[in-house]
Amino acid sequence: MAKLTKKNFIDSLREMSLLEVKELVDGLKEEFGIDPNALFVSGSNQDNNKIQVEEKTEFSVIVKDFGDSSNKIPIIKTVKEITGFGLYDIQKLLNTPDAVIQEKISKEKAEEIKNKLELIGAVVEIQ
């Protein structure tokens, strides 16, 4: 008997009806003990299948709400201290929803800024 090549096998499949293909698949499952409900696992190394999660190293400090407007002077002083912005830019920040105060900073620095802003009544998020 001649060896069945991949090309010949595919050509033979093309000539089959759907019913014949289904019978072939069922026969292969039975012959090789394939459980159709089993999870398919590739033969690659198990270590390669683990998902690598990168730890985030840069953070942004975002102010959701600057709090009570009666605290304007402490808010302006604190934001100026953190950003170095002038009064005009600080006013723009105060009127911006989800204002980004600092970007691409370490987690420790972001936590420090968050604590300063929360002390004056701001609602702050670190991303």
CA-CA distance, 96 to 83, in Å (whole number)?
A: 15
Q: What is the DSSP string of 99-125?
A: EEEEEEE-HHHHHHHHHHHHHTT-EEE
| pTM more than 0.75 | no
pLDDT tens per residue across all 127 residues of the chain: 678 898 988 888 889 888 888 888 888 888 888 877 765 555 555 555 556 667 788 999 999 888 777 778 888 898 899 999 999 998 888 888 888 999 999 999 999 999 998 988 889 999 9
Answer whether 21's CB lies under 8 Å from 13's CB.
yes
Architecture of domain 59-126 in CATH? 2-Layer Sandwich (3.30)
Residues with Cβ within 8 Å of residue 112, at least 6 apart in sequence: none
Any idea where the domains of the chain sit in the sequence?
59-126
